Amino acid sequence: MVFSWDGAGEVGTGLFPRFLKLAADHGAHMTFFLSGLYLLPEDKKLGYAPPNNVPGASDIGYLTDEHLKLTLDNIRQAWLDGHEIGTHFNGHFCTGPGSVARWTPADWQSEIDQAKRFVTSWKTATGWYDQAPLPFDYEHELTGGRTPCLLGQDNLLPTARALGWRYDASSPGGNQTWPVKRDDVWDLPLQLIPFPGHRFEVLSMDYNILANQSHSATSSDPRNYPGWRSQATASYIAGFQRAYETNRAPLYIGNHFEQWNGGIYMDAVEDAFKHIASLGQKDVRMVSFRQFVDWLDAQDPALLDRLRQLEVGQRPTGGWSEFLNLDPATSDPGSDPGSDPGSDPGSGPASDPATDPASDPGATATTTPATTPATATAG
């Protein structure tokens, strides 16, 4: 399974180091989708030429010098800890004529070129020549990203393919099934997972859960917070259980370093992470997107085709050995597909939308939303 973070800026809340420590404590790896503007000082903002927007414009704020330094420190440590540094691009334009939804492949090329420049030339931009460099070559490191608000993927993919990107996590939503490629790029979308107390499902991201709890308000009645936190935790765990107990599809969870509704979504994802880690499942891996596509690319395409036949919540008829045509004498029916300890990248997904938000969801769940949930995405 993959935990990922959009923006990946540290603004003095301690959230970036908190989740670096969580990962280190459990031997896990994550993907941090860095917003390039977080390494550009505001007094240099005219150096950013966003497509279809005025120079220096951005729908997210520029960081203070203090927060820019904190972000550099944490990005540096993240990479040294084995995490992936992807991109969340730059200005985060989700609405209006300048929205990324309207961008052409050439616009995306410009945006990516600028994101790379901000990450690789931050010393020149800041004048902080005495600071330690980032310990990676971003041209080599950057192999995928997630667009603002999950918009614009269709026109991004031709550019991603031309750049040699290996995956994109910008699809506006998918199901808990095994992934496919689009335009020779692995398509790794946020997924619909059970939403306890409801017949519909919710995308596996903090903001989408918030949108269905507080109608996109980020500061609500605190009396709701304990129940909402439990509901969010149960949703992630339900997504894990469903996949783990059935088709073993990977689970992707997206987040932001935020304090919405009292920080309950940060607590929820940590609670779910710790719960899944505490199960001690040897065939579960918590990996970055880069590590996951390494695994995908190493598999026999025929194996992946077989896995894609399994729908949401579907177990293989006759068990894994029969499904994958394995020798029962050498395979472990209780392990991941193929009995190779590395053959399940650590998916995990759960199940039943329980009626009690604080309860641990059951083992089965609806596979299609029965009503219409809120689908707003912060990305």
Give domain limits for the chain: 2-194+253-297
What per-residue confidence (pLDDT) applies to 324?
86
What per-residue confidence (pLDDT) applies to 339?
36
Which residue, 208, 228, 284, is CA-closest to 251? 284
Crossing angle of helices 15-26/65-80, nearest 10°? 10
Which residue type does 78 have?
Answer: A
Which token pair is 312? Answer: 């949401």
Q: Which run of H or of E encompasses 32?
A: strand 31-34
- Read off the pTM: 0.88
What per-residue confidence (pLDDT) applies to 354?
28
| Residue ranges in the chain whose pLDDT is less than 70 | 326-379
* pLDDT tens digits, one per residue of 70-95: 999 999 999 999 999 999 999 999 99
What per-residue confidence (pLDDT) applies to 353?
27
Which residue type does 158 have?
Answer: P
Residue 39 per-residue DSSP state = G
Which token pair is 158? Answer: 């031709």
What per-residue confidence (pLDDT) applies to 372?
43
Which token pair is 298? Answer: 């190493």
Only one residue has tokens 């918030």, namely 210
Strand, helix or coil for residue 335: coil
Out of 1.20.1250.20, 3.20.20.370, 1.10.150.530, 3.30.365.10, the CATH code matching 2-194+253-297 is 3.20.20.370
Question: What is the DSSP code string of 88-102?
Answer: --SS---SSTT-GGG
Is residue 169 within 8 A of residue 252, CB to CB? The reply is yes
Residue 163 per-residue DSSP state = H
Is residue 79 within 8 A of residue 290, CB to CB? The reply is no
What per-residue confidence (pLDDT) applies to 355?
27
